[in-house]
């Protein structure tokens, strides 16, 4: 089966930074960026980015260049991103919250990196990594950029050139560098703008880690729409600070993982205020959604916030499908849909031989269209084979095999059910951990659950469930007995660990490695 997104005609020039430049010409005095007490207009941000772009060009940056960016959430972060794009290069988010060894491993995957934009505070994090350091804060303070032109650089680029390179986790422990093309990023941001009516009033706040693929659209979407971007002036996510800024700036769009949204909702409930309910759109994705953790807040009287449940992968420019959360009674008894494709994108459900599965059956989720990236840089042959071609009515189309499994509902919406490779064998029975999690999560005593397959003392896998109680104390013996009545015995976890909250990784997702460490796995 396949599901086609709306075909939207796009202009010839699909370069995101040129849309920002147009906004700077049309609305020069409009606020583009705030960070603590600092504020920049579109004209000011564009001028500073232009000076830096011209400086990068003098250092040899240009079309085909790849430039690392390791900066905190400061105005310099956006100056570096925009300056890199304007110079014709692609930027690589090197998140300063990552361990230094992880950052060096990431950079070592890219022979293409010749420059790394850093600050005095982040330079040491990538000491010894390939690429010449460029200290942007020092360049600005010393006035060494003052002689550079403030005009937009004229650089010959195509829609197929790279705009950013984001790292995804590799199954072997080595991160993979996904190269995103300008036309894919433009298509995504234009879909957000048109589909959800985002305009100059749709200011956004950064709440996710810079290294997360969702953050690239979170940083650029407000500027693309002519709205203000508000930076959270903290290296790590501070929910109290984030919530205050949402209210103070009247934030109208957020892009985050569900786990981040849960924390913000809990913060709002504790305060008894309503700043989050007045956010226009919250775009959530990156990990499975537990609807029970948002339903009461989302359905309360006066909540005008629209929640979008999205699915996507970095290899296909972050978002492939989107669903407006509304029918909460429906979600209680079944998996929550992730919706229909973004513009100029098609979803295919295929078998192992790339044949379409019959209606209603589960298949591997594959994506074609403008959103498919250029592929991995310096990838292994096995990883490169994830990008392939599929014969179509009008010739072959480029396709990415996500490795996720899903099916289409009768009304034509995608539902994700787990990973192709996420099945485990417990006592000879194959099962999907996502199915086990759904079964545990459906119990009245449980608010949320994560289930891992971890080795026991003999090395055999066992199911370990980490659960958040729905209310008060949770009797795990009762939970175990009840689950025996709803799940096959081999799918009932052998161990339960009750937690007050799940640990989060820097991207705002549930940290499954930290959970495994709690269980000694």
The full DSSP string for 15-65 is -HHHHHHHHHHH-TTSEEEEETTEEEEHHHHHHHHHHHHHHHHHTT--TT-
- pLDDT digits over 239-276, tens only? 999 999 999 999 999 999 999 999 999 999 999 999 99
In angstroms, what CA-CA distances link 330 with 110, 292, 396, 513?
46, 12, 38, 32
Question: Of 93, 32, 372, whose CA–CA distance to 221 is shortest?
Answer: 32
Q: Are strands 429-432 and 495-498 parallel, antiparallel or unpaired?
A: unpaired
143: pLDDT strictly greater than 90: yes
- pLDDT digits over 5-49, tens only? 999 999 999 999 999 999 999 999 999 999 999 999 999 999 999
Distance, in Å, from the CA atom of 474 to the CA atom of 471, rounded to the nearest integer, reads 8
Helices (H), 97-198: 100-108, 136-142, 182-195
Cα-to-chain-centroid distance, residue 279: 19
pLDDT for 521: 55
pLDDT for 422: 60
The residues with which 134 forms a beta bridge, in sequence order, are 117
With both helix axes pointing from N to C terminus, report the angle between 75-86 and 16-26 in degrees, rounded to the nearest 10: 110
Quote the tokens at residue 293.
Answer: 């953790």
Question: Of 316, 473, 323, whose CA–CA distance to 402 is shortest?
Answer: 316
With both helix axes pointing from N to C terminus, report the angle between 182-195 and 213-224 in degrees, rounded to the nearest 10: 60
Q: N- to C-terminal Cα distance for the chain?
A: 39
Count of beta carbons in the 10 Å neighbourhood of residue 327: 11
pLDDT > 90: percent of the chain: 72
Domains for the chain: give ranges and CATH numbers: 14-332 (3.40.50.12780), 340-418 (2.30.38.10), 422-518 (3.30.300.30)
Count of beta carbons in the 10 Å neighbourhood of residue 464: 22
What are the φ/ψ torsions at residue 261 (nearest 5 degrees)?
-65, -40
473: pLDDT strictly greater than 60: yes
- pLDDT digits over 363-413, tens only? 999 999 999 999 999 888 888 899 999 987 778 899 999 999 999 999 999
Cα-to-chain-centroid distance, residue 156: 29
Question: Of 252, 307, 302, whose CA–CA distance to 284 is shortest?
Answer: 307
pLDDT for 347: 97
pLDDT for 238: 93
In contact, 82 and 55? CB cutoff 8 Å = no
Count of beta carbons in the 10 Å neighbourhood of residue 282: 25
pLDDT for 336: 92
pTM of the model: 0.86
Name the E strands within 137-252.
Answer: 162-168, 176-181, 204-205, 229-231
Long-range contacts of 327-335 (CB under 8 A, 24+ apart): 328/291, 328/295, 328/298, 328/299, 331/291, 331/295, 332/291, 332/292, 334/415, 335/415, 335/416, 335/417, 335/438
Average pLDDT over residues 64-88: 97
Letter string b/e over residues 17-48, b meaning 16 or more CB atoms within 10 A of that residue's CB: bbbbbebbeebeeebbbbbeeeebbbbbbbbb
Q: Say whether 405 sits in a helix, a strand or coil.
A: strand
Q: Which of 198-202, 296-300, 475-479 has the weakest average pLDDT?
A: 475-479
- pLDDT digits over 191-249, tens only? 999 999 999 999 999 998 899 899 999 999 999 999 999 999 998 889 999 999 999 99
């Amino acid at each position: 089966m396949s599901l086609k997104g709306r075909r939207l005609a796009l202009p010839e020039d699909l370069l995101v930074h040129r849309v920002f430049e147009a906004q700077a010409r049309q609305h020069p005095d409009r606020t583009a960026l705030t960070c603590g007490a600092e504020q920049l207009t579109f004209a000011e941000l564009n001028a500073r980015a232009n000076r830096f772009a011209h400086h990068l060009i003098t250092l040899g940056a240009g079309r085909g260049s790849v430039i690392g960016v390791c900066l905190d959430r400061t105005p310099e972060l956006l100056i570096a991103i925009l300056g890199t794009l304007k110079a014709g290069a692609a930027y690589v988010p090197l998140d300063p919250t990552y361990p230094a060894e992880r950052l060096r491993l990431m950079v070592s995957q890219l022979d293409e990196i010749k420059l790394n934009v850093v600050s005095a505070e982040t330079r040491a994090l990538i000491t010894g990594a390939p690429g010449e350091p460029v200290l942007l804060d020092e360049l600005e303070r010393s006035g060494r950029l003052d002689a550079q032109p403030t005009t937009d650089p004229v650089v010959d680029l195509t829609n197929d050139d790279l705009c950013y390179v984001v790292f995804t986790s590799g199954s072997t422990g080595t991160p993979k560098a996904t190269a995103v093309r300008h036309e894919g990023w433009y298509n995504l941001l234009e879909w957000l703008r048109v589909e959800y009516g985002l305009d100059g009033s749709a200011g956004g706040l950064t709440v996710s880690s810079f290294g997360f693929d969702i953050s690239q659209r979170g940083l650029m979407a407000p500027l693309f729409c002519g709205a203000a971007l508000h930076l959270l002036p903290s290296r790590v996510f501070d929910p109290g600070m984030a919530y205050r800024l949402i209210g103070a700036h009247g934030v109208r769009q957020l892009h985050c993982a569900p786990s981040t949204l849960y924390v913000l909702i809990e913060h709002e409930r504790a305060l008894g205020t309503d700043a989050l309910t007045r956010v226009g759109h919250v775009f959530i994705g990156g990990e499975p959604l537990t609807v029970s953790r948002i339903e009461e807040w989302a359905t309360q009287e006066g909540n005008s916030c629209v929640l979008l449940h999205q699915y996507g992968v970095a290899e296909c420019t972050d978002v492939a499908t989107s669903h407006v959360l509304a029918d909460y009674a429906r979600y209680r008894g079944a998996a929550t849909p992730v919706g229909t494709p973004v513009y100029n994108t098609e979803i295919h459900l295929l078998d192992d031989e790339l044949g379409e599965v019959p209606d209603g059956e589960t298949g591997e989720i594959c994506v074609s269209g403008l959103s498919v990236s250029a592929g991995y840089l310096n990838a292994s042959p096995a990883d490169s084979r994830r990008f392939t071609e599929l014969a179509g009515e009008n010739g072959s189309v480029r396709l990415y095999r996500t490795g996720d499994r899903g099916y289409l509902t009768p009304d034509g919406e995608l539902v994700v059910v787990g990973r192709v490779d996420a099945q485990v064998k417990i006592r000879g029975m194959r099962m999907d951990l996502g199915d086990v999690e759904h079964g545990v999560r459906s119990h009245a005593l449980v608010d949320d659950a994560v289930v891992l397959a971890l080795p026991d003392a003999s090395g055999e896998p066992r199911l370990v469930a980490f659960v958040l109680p729905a209310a008060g104390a949770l009797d795990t013996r009762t939970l175990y007995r009840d689950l025996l009545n709803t799940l096959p015995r081999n799918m009932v976890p052998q161990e339960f660990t009750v937690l007050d909250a799940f640990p989060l990784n820097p991207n705002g997702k549930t940290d499954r490695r930290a959970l495994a460490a709690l269980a000694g796995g």
